[in-house]
Structure 1
């Protein structure tokens, strides 16, 4: 559908990448539950392994069900290609893998999911990489943090847990001037609320586990390639601009142009890291994406009502939802997330840590889980769970202080959700 008329989002979320199955005429994308694919002949096999022909070799690399999902997510994000993988954390490593090498660093926002903070502050050290954490509201600090060894800038469009909206235009201006790619995690916003590539992002990553699937059934990740970055403009990205020994000296950027990153991530990233998305998970995510816009509209509608109500509750100290006029990031909504500020935010309780624990345990409709973006409303006390591994200073910087609870608003009846929150706050404040 990419070569025809300019279709709307609601149409693309159902049809992009999908075609009736040529063998059976099946309208829904089949689950191609197979490990390998029969080659036409030896010449065909050699062409596939030499990257001279696009096709299917082995499901660690490519799979027809996953390929439909990759095309759909790339289309919705406005990218040229995408690579799906086993989780959102896998997607982050996949995004960095062709860019980094020992001794190189990535400049990242302090407002990130706790697991990402740990991955960047601890785990990537084992690769010889490092991360510099900066408040992305301070443009001068972001610019100053970039040095000759910086290979990427990383942030979230709507930050987890606080719902903080990053000024992507300002950050991309800085990364462009430095000649390095901007990677944006668009999990909390989805391409329905925010299109980071339109604001200068080079790569977009997703935890498909969250809003994209929307039903809490799978784990999955995706990296979307904008196709707009010139990987050969400097010698900073040899994996993409220089000869690749494993493919007889092929240069990915010279050979594949705008799709250089996508092909490299499949031919090398998935080949060697093996972070493969299974076809059944891809199938569930495809079905979830078909209702993405409908769900996101309801998430936003409910979040606006509930955040507004919480802001007036005597037990609540603050609400971080950017959709509220009181939010310091409210002015960014219309520019960065024109269809709404999402369904994720935090509340700080006046009773502190113990009140947060009592509040979470008293909720009845809200599920206490380590997830977000479900059709169901979810809640978690980040400081004792997802951000537990961080110091208190890191928790505060990430928007997950000990007196803070993260709320992911679902698509249930808003009145029922407010009643549940009210009774739990009363018990927590007793």
Structure 2
């Protein structure tokens, strides 16, 4: 395998073995899945010229480039278009995202990179072969890389963030933590409001505030509307009160009302960690009707394993799991599918009370009631884990 650091400053010879200069850089054209080398930048006594890659006949001794043309065949420098960049100038030593490893890495840095630049990579390889410990090379395939945006004079290196966007939001959040302001802003502009909401929910409180600041107030409010209400409430509670009020004022009235309702609950209570994103049905619906309604609306809910039956006053009368609903006869009434025991917690209970019931009765979520039995929200396993282990890696 040839490395760029091993080719830089190598001699370039042309027709009749005449020396034309040294390799200054390689030009490449962006493309999928791999970019293509298009030319060589040759330096000779301070003057630079560009050699088309198809003019390279072979590598001679000492990795010298042997060309099929003479000095008169070299083009002036720079001869670059908007989709062409320079490997050494634009990529080497810059930060890129390793999509597979879900982290930010620097190109050709470390012991192997230094050894290649000094021409002693063979010595290091021999030591590595015999040593009881190994020095990893850290090679990342280009199709697993998302270069970060970088401005070089009039050339802007741009690569689609499509691969990066497809990462799990938790992995993407780790990468964003390592980005600088300009790199982060470039990525945020490529994300939809829904994708940003997922990213913000997985980010640290400090990064959440930073992202909202980067987005500006109007778009930050749009992203808050896309977040789960309990997650948005937690985030806003960490912001300065004036800033939180301003963002809530820009949100849609319905979403803002849900978030403000959650923020009224005291910290350290079930009400403070519950979600209001769940699905209610009347107890006199049939299984078929409830299932059809669930299929139409489940994307709007954070709770996907249960439906909650409430009366006209909003009081909880029973729960039914989606599994039970799927197995029921279509004309069965919802109220006929309720379990023998209804397990609940109240808004002022401690989260530990919810944990005890979730574990004891092997439940994925618990309905949360006020003192009158009105359904106020639902607390899930995910909610209590976020509360008990806030810095866990999802």
Length-normalised TM-score, structure 2: 0.23
Q: Indicate the structure with greater strand content.
A: 2
Length-normalised TM-score, structure 1: 0.21
Rg: which structure is higher? 2
- Which gives a bigger RCO, structure 1 or 2 (Cα 8 Å, sep 6+)? 1
